[in-house]
Structure 1
Amino acid sequence: MAYTNSSLVSYTKLSPNHSGHRTHSIDRITPHCVVGQCSMETLGNIFTPTSRQASCNYGIGPDGRVGMYVEEKNRSWCSSSNANDQRAVTIECASDTKHPYTMNSTVYAILIKLCVDICKRNGKKKLIWLGDKNKTLNYSPKSDEMVLTVHRWFANKSCPGDWLYARLGDLAAKVTAELSGTTSGSGSTAPTTQMYRVRKSWSDAKSQIGAYKVLDNAKKKADENSGYKVFDASGNVVYPAASTPALTPSKDTSYKVQVSIANLNIRKGPGTNYDRTGQFTGKGIFTIVQESKGAGATLWGKLKSGSGWISLDFAKKL
């Protein structure tokens, strides 16, 4: 097929970091978080050196401008997966540098607009978010379907960040509404019917036992099944009301620990009764600034980076 590029692009600096012509037609979009409020020019400079070994098709700066670094006809080096990048248009989006890697409203609005443009030019009428790695990678899209994938499925990364990850269902719904022409006169997406999903956790799509338009029906289903919650389309818990774990006294300290496993969870507080941030420490040496007792571990330590707490059962004090 003949590939085209987005007319939304206002800055172009083509990177040498790509694999040439795609071996698969485009049927995926993979949005990323830059982990920084990078301008289009800065992102172009990042992808210029061949030593960087990284690139993307498009980037969205904090001001909403769109940059192009690899043409759509070519496979970018963006998702730590050759198979994914051969068929995906990859988009780096300016974000905060810390969890949950929030993107401003301008970036999100342009991401929606860019996804609509990508779908239209590639003959797609629907953008799909399945919310599950295995289900998505085993799914064969219809000729008019585009599928969302994420970097964290292919590498030990939090990308695209929890802020955007929780909104991918909303992104898919808004893009699909635009593609179907259900928009208001102002050009904004018309309100879509809210679906309340009953799951054990938002990330565990396989655990879903129902989706309801009426919130009371979703609440009833959750009450009938222990351990289940009700989530809105953006992945926020709406029932039962989130309880705040009891605060545990912590002690200030300062020492280094060595973590030898790649997937040590970072939590929002000292205990397994606190939510995971969606990040992992990775292997390395880290500074602990506070200690606290808590559920699920002998002792918890707060990371100096401020990203959260880790179980010290999996860390060796240096």
Structure 2
Amino acid sequence: MAYTNSPLVVYTGLSPNHSGQRTHAIDRITPHCVVGQLSAETICACFPAGRDASCNYGIGTDGRVSLCVEEKNRSWCTSSNANDQRAITIECASDKTEPYAMNSAVYATLIKICTDICQRNGKSKLLWFADKGKSLNYAPKSDEMVITVHRWFANKSCPGDWLYSCLGDLAAKVTAALGSTQQEPTTDKTVWYRVRKTWADSKSQLGAYKVLANAKAKVDANPGYAVFDENGKVIYGSAAATGFSPYLVNVTIEDLNIRKGPGTNYGTVGKYTGKGCFTIVEEASGQGASQWGLLKSYADGRDGWISLDFATRI
């Protein structure tokens, strides 16, 4: 099929970080929170060569739209090859802390660009089921687009509780703009309580529990652990006292090593960050720097640490 890009774009800063042309037709939209009140231009600057991340579009804090990866190409945005092959991914300017709220200009533009994406791709309905299993197993009809979220594919809060709670409204407004009626969303959902040392350290997980009391008992028997809800928020345990929230940094050198652990005594992963902005999801002390930070895009494997001596907090 012939792919086009949104006429809403006011700035183009194409990232080399993509997998070339898609292998699946577009039938999903995945909105993200960028974790920072960034401009359209700065969102594109977050994805320099050497960083394993990108998105199709960015929406800046003033509602302006940037193009980071053309719609014809698969971006690297949701920690899922299968989802990115079929989804248009959109990074939206947001607050730096939960619930990662977005202002009215960003949300209004998100409605407009989702409507535009649906129109140009021949869709008359945008669907939100509020359920991972149903959404990922659903086979959209030729005129349907489905909303998916990053947290379904990785241990992340994205797109944040603020936008997550708005996705039913987003689907309804876009579908109405397209001239169709929105189906009633499915809201039944099992809540899982995860026991970990930190939210970013998925390998430390001791278990996931449907009953909060059982999760608390596990923490009581394992000092240093905490109970996290599905959004990564500490609700019980020692980690509640850390008060750490992810934040953005600007890296000022091109050849900053990415290491397998917080210290120069750890080997590198064979890549540099390049200049640009990055999200830090955890801090640690270690050899060779005053402080080390774990990059968001490497958090699941925990092999993406950089020296914060060469980064400026945004």
Q: Provide the TM-score with structure 2 as the length reference.
A: 0.64
Unpaired segments ≥5 residues, structure 2 = 209-214, 217-226, 247-314
2:92 aligned residue: 93
Q: How much has 1:301 moved relative to structure 2?
A: 4.0
Q: How much has 1:302 moved relative to structure 2?
A: 2.4
Q: How much has 1:22 moved relative to structure 2?
A: 0.5
1:76 aligned residue: 75
- Contact 2:3 2:72 (C-alpha < 8 Å) held by counterparts: yes
Q: What is the CA–CA distance in structure 2 between the aligned matches of 1:136 and 1:85, rounded to whole Å? A: 14
Distance 1:277 1:28, change over 3 A: closer
- Contact 1:132 1:204 (C-alpha < 8 Å) held by counterparts: no
1:187 aligned residue: none
Q: What is the CA–CA distance in structure 2 between the aligned matches of 1:117 and 1:259, rounded to whole Å? A: 39
Q: How much has 1:41 moved relative to structure 2?
A: 1.5
Q: What is the CA–CA distance in structure 2 between the aligned matches of 1:86 and 1:152, rounded to whole Å? A: 17
Q: How much has 1:54 moved relative to structure 2?
A: 0.9
Distance 1:6 1:305, change over 3 A: same
**Of 304, 308, 311, which residue of structure 1 is paired with 2:243?**
304
1:111 aligned residue: 110
SS in 1 for 2:173: helix
Q: How much has 1:42 moved relative to structure 2?
A: 1.1
Q: What is the CA–CA distance in structure 2 between the aligned matches of 1:155 and 1:300, rounded to whole Å? A: 20
Q: What is the CA–CA distance in structure 2 between the aligned matches of 1:198 and 1:173, rounded to whole Å? A: 15
Distance 1:67 1:198, change over 3 A: closer
1:279 aligns with 2:278: no
2:8 aligned residue: 8
Q: What is the CA–CA distance in structure 1 between the aligned matches of 2:187 and 2:168, rounded to whole Å? A: 15
Q: Which of 1 and 2 has greater Rg?
A: 1
2:310 aligned residue: none
Q: What is the CA–CA distance in structure 2 between the aligned matches of 1:106 and 1:198, rounded to whole Å? A: 27
Q: What is the CA–CA distance in structure 1 between the aligned matches of 2:173 and 2:118, rounded to whole Å? A: 12
- Contact 1:99 1:277 (C-alpha < 8 Å) held by counterparts: no
Q: What is the CA–CA distance in structure 2 between the aligned matches of 1:65 and 1:57, rounded to whole Å? A: 14
Q: What is the CA–CA distance in structure 2 between the aligned matches of 1:101 and 1:119, rounded to whole Å? A: 25
The Cα offsets for residues 1-45 of structure 1, whole Å up to 9 and x where unpaired, read as 100100000000111000110000000000000000111111121
RMSD between superposed Cα atoms in Å:
3.1
1:173 aligned residue: 172
Q: How much has 1:280 moved relative to structure 2?
A: 5.3
The Cα offsets for residues 268-312 of structure 1, whole Å up to 9 and x where unpaired, read as xxx97x99472157xxxxxxxxxxxx9x77x784223379xxxxx
The letter of the residue matching 1:132 is: D
Higher relative contact order (CA 8 A, sep 6+): 2
SS in 2 for 1:51: coil
SS in 2 for 1:25: coil
- Contact 2:129 2:185 (C-alpha < 8 Å) held by counterparts: no
SS in 2 for 1:165: helix
Unpaired segments ≥5 residues, structure 1 = 183-191, 206-256, 266-270, 282-293, 308-318
Q: Provide the TM-score with structure 1 as the length reference.
A: 0.63
- Contact 1:100 1:277 (C-alpha < 8 Å) held by counterparts: no
